[in-house]
Amino acid sequence: MANLGIPQNTIEILQKYHFNFQKKYGQNFLIDTRVLDKILSAAEITKEDCVLEIGPGIGTMTQYLAESAGAVVAVEIDKNLIPVLEETLACYDNVTVLNEDILKMDLVKLVEDRNGGRPVKVVANLPYYITTPIIMSLFENHVPLKSVTVMVQKEVADRMRTGPGTKDYGALSLAVQYYARPAFVANVPPNCFIPRPRVGSAVIRLDRYEEPPVKAGDEKKLFSLIRASFNQRRKTLVNGLCNAADLCLPKEQVARALEEMGLSPAVRGEELTLEQFAKLSDRLFEQST
């Protein structure tokens, strides 16, 4: 099968199947072989690996993965792409295509069934509108992972790896850095896709920690606290947390916990490190139980 990373080959297969891009699925197909090579190199795929690809599209990156991996499981939500994938991946016997919604699948079971429960590597050109739910689903459900190498909107890649005190720092930064070590791979301009997105993209690799870098007594409560801290960025942390109905935290209790940690009652969530959030969570929820 022709290399789909070459624009003319992509155009030919799209015309053959009279394919119409679905805006609701955020479809932008990669047409740059250099970027594909960078993704494969960053993901460090070997014949020992089982790769989970999210959103294979017409199979452009799937072809590259199939050449390098032991097995590839590609999950595609758009049923109109299944006949295309059957053609473009016909010569690879190590690829399984599943017509499913990745956010509705039991991925722990998938890894158990397809790789005996051993950690998989995730590689994906993620639809921008659901990047965060997909990343968080992989981590929060404790899917056995070695690494996640993904193409995302550049702004999202910046948020994943930034630290306290910056405008991009927020709940996603803290969540990603709790579960994984982020590493920037490459910027990818809009002209590397068909159709062209309106924003720049970036490839980022997330290496899953065996153990989180901080200890929190209750992981779910920690992330409820973090989300509430950034829901109203302009408010002080005290007011943001007290306004969060699901936390039920009195203002005095939050102020006292911050004081015990040597923090000002006027501090904002964007100023706290992951370690400080973990300590604050333990103080607040140990006191309230």
> Which of 31, 36, 40 shows the shortest CA–CA distance to 6?
31
Query: Helix or strand or coil: residue 19?
Result: coil
- For residues 88 and 198, state if they share a domain: yes
Residue 188 contacts by C-beta under 8 Å, 6 or more apart in sequence?
32, 35, 151, 200, 201, 202, 203
Answer with the residue of higher pLDDT: 231 or 14: 14
- Is 214 domain-assigned? no
Residue 288 has pLDDT above 80, yes or no: no
The CA–CA distances, whole Å, from 278 to 32, 139, 194, 215, 253 equal: 42, 17, 43, 7, 16
- For residues 110 and 247, state if they share a domain: no
The token duo for 115 is 């790789």
Reported as a pLDDT band with limits 50, 70 and 90, residue 25 is confident
Look up the CATH number of the domain holding residue 35.
3.40.50.150
Q: Provide the mean pLDDT of the chain.
A: 94
pLDDT cut 70: percent of the chain above it: 99
- For residues 204 and 225, state if they share a domain: no
The amino acid at 264: S
Query: Helix or strand or coil: residue 243?
Result: coil
> Which residue, chain included where needed, has tokens 């960025």?
233
Residue 243 contacts by C-beta under 8 Å, 6 or more apart in sequence?
228, 231, 232, 235
Q: Which residues pair with 51 in a beta bridge?
A: 72, 121
**C-alpha span between 56 and 81 (Å, rounded):** 9
Query: Helix or strand or coil: residue 49?
Result: coil
Query: Domain ends where: 179, 208, 237?
Result: 208
pTM over 0.85, yes/no: yes
- Is 213 domain-assigned? no
* Structure confidence by residue, pLDDT tens digits, 178-233: 999 999 999 999 999 999 999 999 999 999 999 999 999 999 999 999 999 998 87
Please give the average per-residue pLDDT across 130-149, as a whole number. 94
Segment holding 74, helix H or strand E: strand 71-75
How many CA within 13 A on the CB side of residue 91?
7
Backbone angles phi, psi at 38, to 5 degrees: -65, -40
- pLDDT for the residue 128: 85
* Structure confidence by residue, pLDDT tens digits, 107-126: 999 999 999 999 999 999 99
Query: Domain ends where: 140, 175, 208?
Result: 208
**C-alpha span between 175 and 198 (Å, rounded):** 27
- For residues 148 and 248, state if they share a domain: no
- Domain residues for 233? 219-287
- DSSP letter, residue 185: E
**C-alpha span between 57 and 13 (Å, rounded):** 12
Residue 1 has pLDDT above 80, yes or no: no
Residue 162 contacts by C-beta under 8 Å, 6 or more apart in sequence?
168, 169, 173
The amino acid at 4: L
